[in-house]
A and B are shown apart, each in its own frame.
Chain A
């Protein structure tokens, strides 16, 4: 009786920039000094936004907030690979992506202050609302890709989510459709290794998340998620593959959630500070700084200037956000339906 090997599979893992700031020249993407500075400045902007948002939450000026600390390379590296016309379906921890794409900072803060109007994208921005449910926007991204294909719109659709989402039916069903219909979609998982208190090993027995794509008939690749160059290279390749009709790709960015799940969490109750310290040494901004330092790119107070500019940018956004009048009570009805029914009309009028 035949007992043949039907198929074998491999999973790639990509690292370009090591913790000492050295790169693998053969794998290093072609980036100008200006482009590398832009990566650094966006990472600093994202971290500054994050620090300020956490402080504002503690002062009661924002609601519950999920920190992006430590995930800057995964977010900025991938978002810089997008065209402005591409469509992005974020989860709730991708403020670095939104900042990279130029989403108004005060609107991000407005949303986290508890105001849905902050989710209204400016004209010509194809950023969909943050998805607070875990992984449920994966089918939306797939559907948007189906719509784009049908309309002959040459865009790529990118969905961001975390490791916890890979346990959801939406992930498996959405991936399956993306494979069956060979859709122009790129799935980017920021595997920060924690879903609130559940570590990765409690989420899956799989050796990687990337390999889950193989079962759906398209490539999955794991990248060092704290290596902005590796993320950028993998995302650029996947996005261009999707754009040229090559179908979906799944990119697992292996990173670490340095902060609590949200400001409503206390991670010290369930994880060791030693584990966090290991990952602090792999900090994505520090790695890029070391690379830039080796190339003499940090001279003349560049780091301080970058941080000062980021702080003043965020300061201004906070002022703009806090000057926005809160929504009126009646406004909550306005977006419920295209036309309200008579009972809703009475409720809107306070009856």
Chain B
């Protein structure tokens, strides 16, 4: 049995950065307030003291250029981990992310890899209003060339971030702001890695498959516990990474249960859940007992009011309702 320690999602990310920086001197962490201030969400706590200001570097408030210099540094032989204060500011960096980070390898005729990670906290639910509560995972998933992770547990946070840093692909690494204080057992092994493209069946069940990620996985677990009391058995597939997407595990589960609900925190329209639901329909059409149902964010800018904000983001109750609908085939 490998040893584990209970720790927060935040500390698991910190552990991953610390271990990878110790292991590989080419790993550097650059971003806004990452050094002395130790990150807006304190993920880089203690790293300046341990690794010095050359490796943990505060940058000016220039998101596009934070990603751009990471692109240049990755071409220049480093493994930069850039931090954007939140995913919302990634919109300022979309040109560097989509036009450069995702494409340089291709446009360079394959001459160079781009071993870089852009970390960004995201998600809603903290009453931060329309411009600071967004879930932009579908934006990134639409772009070929990017690898994308979004962990739901502290152990996955450590294992996926370490894999991301060692990966030769450019990686978008999403972290959920409401999960930073969540706790779980995390392997102490510095070689503990969670590979990209392997979804995790975190709960076995027989009646319905719930496909979820990040905080949506936690809500799905709550919904499944409630539904169990009603005699509905849910299987939950935690995606872990959007790209590569583990379609195989999703389809295998949907074939087994015959029903699926796809949960996403982002806006419903053109959201990644539509793509996943389509993959299930295409592969499992003959064996599905009901059409795949989607649970997603409402198509509005996030309201500032805490009361209304809650309605805009999937909840355990809305997931449970969707499962009940699918199980009873009331469409």
A interface residues with partner B (beta carbon < 8 Å): 87, 89, 116-121, 128-129, 133, 136, 138-148, 150-151, 169-170, 173-174, 176-177, 180, 332, 334-339, 341-344
- What residues of A have a CB within 8 angstroms of the CB of B281 in the complex? none
Instruction: Select one of A89, A180, A342, A344 contacting B144, CB under 8 A.
Output: A344
Chain B positions 240 through 259: 1 when the CB is less than 8 Å from some CB of chain A, otherwise 0: 00011101100000000000
Overall SS of chain B's interface? mixed
Interface check B305, CB cutoff 8 A:
no
Chain A min CB distance to B128 (Å): 25
Instruction: Select one of A129, A139, A148, A334 contacting B76, CB under 8 A.
Output: A148
- What residues of A have a CB within 8 angstroms of the CB of B77 in the complex? 147, 151
- What residues of A have a CB within 8 angstroms of the CB of B122 in the complex? none
Given contacts A118-B109, A338-B167, A342-B247, contact A173 B72 (CB under 8 A): no
Structural contact, A116 and B104, CB atoms closer than 8 A: no
Interface check B105, CB cutoff 8 A:
yes
Interface check B60, CB cutoff 8 A:
yes
Given contacts A139-B71, A143-B71, A343-B247, contact A335 B105 (CB under 8 A): yes
Structural contact, A139 and B72, CB atoms closer than 8 A: yes
Given contacts A118-B109, A341-B244, contact A142 B75 (CB under 8 A): no
Question: In whole angstroms, what is the CA distance A108 to B176 when docked?
Answer: 45
Interface check B194, CB cutoff 8 A:
no
Chain B min CB distance to A140 (Å): 4
Structural contact, A119 and B69, CB atoms closer than 8 A: no
Interface check B205, CB cutoff 8 A:
no
- What residues of B have a CB within 8 angstroms of the CB of A147 in the complex? 72-78
Nearest A residue to B168, CB-CB: A338
- What residues of B have a CB within 8 angstroms of the CB of A142 in the complex? 65, 68-69, 72
- What residues of B have a CB within 8 angstroms of the CB of A128 in the complex? 75, 108
Jot down 5 A-B pairs with beta carbons below 8 A, ordered by A: A116-B108, A139-B96, A151-B76, A177-B69, A334-B110
- What residues of B have a CB within 8 angstroms of the CB of A332 in the complex? 106
- What residues of A have a CB within 8 angstroms of the CB of B54 in the complex? 150
Structural contact, B109 and A143, CB atoms closer than 8 A: no
Which 3 residue pairs are nearest across A and B when measured between Cβ atoms?
A139-B68, A143-B72, A147-B76
Interface check B159, CB cutoff 8 A:
no
Residues of B in contact, count (CB < 8 Å): 47
Structural contact, B169 and A338, CB atoms closer than 8 A: yes
Task: Report B57-75 residues with CB < 8 Å from chain A CB.
Answer: 59-60, 62, 64-65, 67-75
Question: In whole angstroms, what is the CA distance A118 to B69 when docked?
Answer: 24
Interface check B49, CB cutoff 8 A:
no
10 more contacts with CB within 8 A, not counting A89-B72, A120-B109, A150-B55, are A116-B109, A143-B75, A146-B30, A147-B77, A148-B76, A335-B106, A335-B109, A339-B244, A341-B197, A344-B144
Structural contact, A144 and B72, CB atoms closer than 8 A: yes
Task: Report B90-127 residues with CB < 8 Å from chain A CB.
Answer: 95-96, 99-100, 104-111, 113
Given contacts A139-B68, A341-B197, contact A129 B78 (CB under 8 A): no
Structural contact, B109 and A117, CB atoms closer than 8 A: yes
Given contacts A176-B62, A339-B244, contact A144 B73 (CB under 8 A): yes
Chain A min CB distance to B140 (Å): 14
Structural contact, A133 and B113, CB atoms closer than 8 A: no
Question: In whole angstroms, what is the CA distance A117 to B107 when docked?
Answer: 8
Instruction: Select one of A89, A121, A145, A339 contacting B111, CB under 8 A.
Output: A121
